[in-house]
Each structure stands twice: as C-alpha cells, then as structure tokens.
C-alpha cells in the first residue's frame, strides 16, 4: 500500500485512511487540520497541525529518496536488460552468418530477471520502453494464459491497438490467430526501414500455463524473420527455463539471466543509503527495536519494496504523534506560545507540555527564553553526535570486514554478525561487546596487517569532504601511527609477531567507538529518534483466515454490543426476568450462533440437529407480548399464540440464510463423499479452530 494522499490518525494504534478532498473545499481541509490529537492531554493547541506539516515534509523527502535509492539499486540489472532490448541483431562475423543460415529457426532474444520483488524493475522497463521510439510494448499477465487464443489476441491487440497511429475502435475485434494482421501492421509502420522491436513482458512466468507459453514461443519463432520479438521474463528461480520447458523449446530462445540482489543485500543497501550514511543525515533515526520490526515485516511480506515503503510511512506517522516532535524543524516553533504566562495559566494542556519538555531536558531553573536556547543547543548536539556515531559505525564495519579477511575463523560472532544486527545494536547503543572483541584482534596485528588496516581506514575517512571533516580529529592520530609504522617497520624475523603500534591504534578506535553508544545521551533525542516500542506487523496486512474466524467467534469485538460493563443489580430474579423480557436485547448474528455449534461438532454435522440447536440459541430473541393477567401470573409475558407458526418460519429462514453464508465461505461440504450415506441430511466439516485462532 503506497499512500500518496494525506493520512491521519487519532489513535495510538495507527490507522491510515487515504483522503483526497476536492479542490476548493476549505471546510473539509479546516476540519481535517482541526482534528483532535491523540496526546491532547499534553499537547499545544496548534500541535496537531504543526506536527502534521512536519510529517508531510519529512515523509515526502524520504519518499523521494526511496525512489532514487531503488533506481540505483536496480540500475545494473536495468542496464543489462536494456542492452538486450536495444542491441542490434546484425551479425558481422562471416562464420556466424554462415551458421545462422544453416539453422532451421532463428533464436529469439530473451532476458530472464530473477528475484523475489520484480514489480519495481518491471515498472521501470515498461516506462522506458513506452517512452522510447525504437521499441513497442506488450504486457502479458498470467490470466491471459488460459488458452492460446486468449494470449495471442491480447498480445496482438497490445501492439496494434495501443501503438497504432490510427486508433482502432474497441468494437473492432482482432481474430484469435491473426498474426498476419500484426505482420502487415509492422510493415506499415516500418516503411521499408528498420522498425521498432516488439518487446513482450511476462512478469511471473512461473504462474503461466506451460503448454500455452510453449505454443506462444513456437508461433513467434515462426514469424521471427518478419517480426523482431524480444521477450523479458520474470521468475523467482534461475532454473525456471529448465524446469518448465523442454530442450526443443529452450532452443528457440537466446536467454540471458540477470539476478537481482537478494533480500539481505536489498535491505542493507536501502538502510545504509537512507539511515546510516554520515554524509546524508537522516531526517529521522531508527531505534534498534524499530529496525528489527522493519526487517521482520520485510521478511514477512516476501521482500516487497512497496511494503517496505508502507511500513516506513507507518513508522513516521507513529513517531510524529509525540507532542515533542513539534520541535523537530525549529526549536522556536511552539515554544513562543509558552513564553506568555497567560497561556500557561489558562491552558492546562500547555502546562503539561511544559512539564513534559522539562522532563525531556535536564531539570534546571530558568526562563522560557533559556529553555528555547537549550532546545536549540540540544538539536545541534544531537546532530553532531549522530554524525560522529555514523562515521564510527563505518570504521567499525570496515575493521570487521578486514579482520574477517585475515582470520581463518570467519564464523566467529564478532566477525560474522550481519549488518541488520549491527545496525539494531547501534540503534540501541549496545555494540560494546562486539567492539571489545574486535579490539582484542586489532591488538594482535603484525606490521604488514596493521599497514593494510590503516590504509582501509584512511580510504574511508577521505571518501568525501564531509566525511573528512567529521573524521578530522581522528585522522591526524591515525596519520601519526602510519608515519611511525613507516619509520620503525619490522624485521623478517619479527614479521609474524604483533606490532607495538597495534595497541595505539586500538586505543584510538576505542575512543572513536565510544561515540556509538553515547549518541543517545543528548537531551530531547526522542524528537529525532523513534521510540523503542515495536509496531505490530498485523496492522498493515492481517491474516484473512484469522480475521474471519475471530469475527465469527468473538463478534462483540467488531459490533461492540457485548463489551459494555454489566453493573451489579440488587433486583430479585423475578424482576430481572421481567426486565429482560421487556427490553430489546442485542444478540449475536445468526451466522455466529451457528458457527459456535459448528466448531463444537465432529467431522459430520446432522443438519436437523444443527437446526434444533440453532433454535435454542436464538430463543432469547423470540418476541414476547405483555398481557394483563390476574393472580400469580400477573406481569409475565407469554408468546403470541397466533404467531408461533410465523416464528417457526422465521427461524427456518434465518437458519437457511446462515447456512448459505457459511457455504459461501467454504466451510461446508455437501457431497455424499465423507458425509455418510444420508447425503444432504449431513454436512461435512472442513474448518477446525486451533487454540491460536480461538
């Protein structure tokens, strides 16, 4: 879900509602901006509006950066695919020309893109081919591969109707096998010159019918001399061509395979570019628990880049519910309201916001102007601390990679820990254990090994001007060690022994790596860093089965008719019964009553017994009539005698309605197999409730 509209939330459990008001509707916009905040008890009067503006600004910036990062991540694969599409088919080598003449059929160029999430890269391919002049596009989805006639018709219509200068009317149908129409159309648009390439995109070839794809490739191969087809396939495994097609079919294609980055490489690349790059300061820093939740949701949603964008948007929405995030952009924003003593005296919420701000800052007595100055100091201190910490993290990973190359024990924890875990512990400031083990290995380096590590550190420190500025204080100390190492050196006899300067480098690295745990200490860090509360994954994409079973077993959580607390009553049982008979009681839906009997039944359910149990379940909703009677029966209600048959018919109709609803949900099996010889008198049960579902 990629929400480009203006989402809003009024609850701690975030719910994104896409909302797009019409232009000129100032009433709706005013109502949206004046919506109450979830932290109204300690928020400023204009807090929701200001924080919503800040959220929109930060999210739009991150969204644009995400698109650029995705393009850079897919750029190598895209370049190779475009090379296949735009490459010339002319063969200049005389030997290859002679071999080509001897071949019975010419091979069709094809590109196979292997990866889990291919939506973004196929969108880029479709956009590039559509905008180009030397290629036309046809996109074939798996639903077209029900038969050869359907897929041929879809492909021909894509080429002819969507790219024809004289647009055909939608009423003019294309014949199922009208490949001659495609040939004549191509001859017309080429006009005796080299025409455009006919690019066919099949994003999920594994979901297509193998015989239909086989026939399509054979037909296109027969017209290869007249129509320059190029196929672009998408698959989850690289051996899909071998498992799906025979050798005769594979000989029709000249396939080039391009493997996309795996899930760990993609996630690491996005996180490093957006949140762990000292040159590009992140507008919001992720805590360890937030990063762990983000990686878990990334893995749960099959490594979808669009799902990652939605999860990041949820994190941003959740973060800017904090009233203190109004200070994210400008410390002066909102605090000018607190400088007026009249506002603090009249507004209790402003007083609580002031108390919240005092707790976030180190408690000190001072005027409101002094608080504003301290907030500005905290903002600059946090920015400086996080930049130094990100530089230290880069050096940490470089040292880890270098020691992993040297050590034969690459399976050691401090050497093999993945980036996700390193980044998560960095977000919580808990990298001390791993860094101490790495420092022990640094102290044991020889002179040659120490020289190689120093060169790697200097290369990272001088990568760009901003990094060099951040690392200026440490670069001078490292340069002194390099100079001393060049002067002293080691003899051949001592080449296998540790160098004395390794201890000096370990001291410098220890001082540098201490910034990776101290960046959380500046006050007001929660303004620019997400909280440690994990977000539930089921908010965005809940399980359909669990949602249906929960709604059927606990309908009160959705209908809210049985969640109100029941007060203790001192009335007698007789008066309670009379009051229940006279009031309108809300019962569970019929399908829920029927389902409660369903889950307690065995493998086979007798329909008549099921009906009688259902009648008892809805007996409470049976209409009763108050009649004036004398004696002991006064005040009692009795069923309306004339309407007893009507009630029986209503119960039967409600039962049949609920049974048909369960049948539509696929919970019943009415065939004679598995339900005994009675056939329709019994229903087979196909859904069982586990303790996790109940």
pLDDT tens, 199-236? 999 988 888 888 999 989 988 888 888 888 999 999 88
Pairing of strands 197-202, 604-606: unpaired
- The reported pLDDT for the residue numbered 521 is 73
- Tell me the per-residue pLDDT of 35-44, one tens digit each, with 9 for 90 and over: 344 444 677 7
Phi, psi of 189 (to 5 degrees): -80, -25
Delimit the domains of the chain by residue range.
107-260, 544-628+635-685
Dist CA 198 CA 135 (whole Å): 6
| 551-576 pLDDT tens trace | 888 887 666 554 444 444 555 555 55
Return d(Cα 53, Cα 326) in angstroms, integer.
10
pLDDT number for residue 165: 47
Q: Which two tokens stand for residue 417?
A: 């820990």
* Max Cα distance, the chain (Å): 120
Range with the lowest mean pLDDT among 47-61, 248-262, 315-329, 411-425? Answer: 411-425
The reported pLDDT for the residue numbered 18 is: 39
Nearest to 515 by CA among 612, 393, 649: 393
Q: What's the average model confidence in pLDDT over 638-649? A: 70
Residue 678: predicted pLDDT: 47
Pair 234, 122: CB distance under 8 Å: yes
Other beta carbons within 10 angstroms of residue 670's beta carbon come to 12
Q: Which fold has domain 107-260?
A: Rossmann fold (3.40.50)
Helices (H), 462-606: 465-470, 472-488, 501-513, 515-518, 544-553, 556-559, 573-582, 590-599
Q: Which of 454-458, 574-578, 656-660 has the lowest mean pLDDT?
A: 574-578
Output the six-digit token pair for 380: 């600059």
Give the integer Cα–Cα distance in Å for 657 and 669.
16
Distance CA 434, CA 426 (A): 11
Q: Helix, strand or coil for residue 229?
A: strand
The more confident residue out of 691 and 416 is 416
């Amino acid at each position: 879900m990629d929400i480009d509209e203006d989402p809003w939330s009024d609850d701690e459990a975030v719910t994104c509602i896409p909302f797009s008001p019409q232009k000129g509707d100032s009433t709706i916009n005013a109502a949206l901006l004046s919506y109450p905040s979830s932290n109204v008890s300690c928020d400023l009067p204009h807090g929701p509006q200001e924080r919503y503006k800040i959220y929109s600004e930060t999210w739009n910036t991150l969204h644009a950066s995400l698109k650029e990062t995705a393009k850079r991540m897919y750029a190598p694969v895209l370049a190779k695919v475009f090379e296949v599409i735009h490459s010339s088919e002319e063969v200049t080598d005389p030997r290859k020309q002679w071999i080509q003449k001897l071949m019975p059929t010419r091979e069709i160029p094809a590109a196979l893109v292997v990866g889990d999430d291919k939506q973004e890269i196929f969108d880029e391919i479709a956009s590039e081919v559509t905008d180009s002049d030397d290629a036309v596009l046809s996109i074939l989805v798996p639903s077209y591969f029900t038969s050869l006639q359907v897929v041929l018709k879809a492909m021909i219509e894509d080429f002819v109707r969507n790219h024809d200068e004289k647009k055909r009317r939608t009423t003019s149908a294309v014949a199922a096998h009208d490949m001659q129409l495609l040939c004549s159309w191509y001859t017309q648009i080429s006009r005796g010159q080299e025409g455009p390439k006919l690019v066919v995109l099949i994003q999920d070839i594994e979901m297509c019918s193998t015989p239909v794809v086989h026939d399509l490739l054979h037909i296109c191969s027969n017209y290869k001399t007249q129509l320059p087809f190029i196929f672009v396939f998408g698959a989850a495994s690289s051996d899909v061509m071998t498992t799906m097609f025979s050798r005769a079919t594979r000989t029709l294609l000249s396939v080039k395979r391009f493997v996309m980055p795996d899930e760990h490489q993609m996630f690491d690349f996005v996180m490093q570019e957006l949140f762990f790059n000292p040159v590009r300061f992140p507008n919001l820093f992720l805590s360890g628990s937030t990063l762990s939740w983000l990686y878990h949701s990334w893995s749960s949603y099959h490594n979808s880049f669009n799902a990652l964008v939605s999860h990041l948007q949820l994190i941003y929405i959740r973060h800017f519910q904090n009233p203190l995030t109004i200070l994210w952009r400008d410390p002066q924003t909102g605090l000018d309201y607190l400088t007026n003593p009249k506002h603090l005296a009249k507004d209790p919420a402003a007083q609580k916001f002031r108390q919240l701000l005092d707790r976030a800052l180190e408690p000190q007595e001072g005027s409101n102007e002094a608080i504003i100055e301290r907030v500005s100091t905290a903002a600059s201190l946090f920015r400086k601390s996080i930049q130094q910490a990100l530089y230290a993290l880069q050096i940490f990973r470089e040292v880890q990679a270098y020691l992993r190359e040297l050590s034969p024990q690459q399976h050691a924890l401090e050497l093999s820990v993945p980036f996700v875990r390193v980044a998560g512990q960095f977000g919580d400031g808990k990298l001390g254990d791993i860094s101490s083990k790495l420092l022990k290995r640094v102290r044991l380096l020889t002179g040659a090994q120490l020289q190689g590590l120093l060169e790697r550190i200097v290369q990272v420190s001088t990568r760009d001007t901003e990094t060099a500025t951040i690392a200026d204080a440490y670069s001078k100390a490292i340069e002194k060690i390099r100079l001393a190492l060049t002067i002293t050196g080691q003899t051949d006899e001592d080449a296998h022994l540790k160098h004395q300067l390794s201890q000096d480098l370990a001291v410098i690295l220890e001082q540098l790596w201490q910034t990776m745990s101290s960046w959380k200490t500046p006050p007001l860090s929660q303004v620019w860093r997400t909280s440690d509360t994990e977000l539930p994954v089921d908010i965005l994409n809940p399980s359909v089965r669990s949602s249906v079973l929960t709604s059927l077993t606990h309908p009160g959580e959705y209908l809210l008719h049985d969640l109100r607390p029941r007060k203790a009553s001192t009335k007698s049982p007789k008066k309670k019964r009379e009051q229940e008979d006279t009031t309108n009681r809300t019962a569970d839906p019929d399908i829920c009553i029927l389902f409660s009997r369903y889950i307690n039944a065995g493998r086979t359910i007798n329909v008549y017994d099921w009906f009688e149990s259902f009648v008892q379940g809805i007996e409470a909703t049976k209409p009763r009539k108050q009649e004036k009677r004398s004696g002991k029966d006064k005040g009692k209600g009795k069923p309306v005698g004339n309407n007893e048959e009507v009630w029986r018919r209503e119960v039967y109709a409600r039962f049949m309605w609920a049974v048909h609803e369960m049948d539509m949900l696929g919970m019943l099996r009415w065939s004679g197999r598995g339900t005994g010889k009675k056939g329709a008198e019994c229903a087979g049960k196909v859904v069982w409730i586990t303790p996790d579902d109940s």
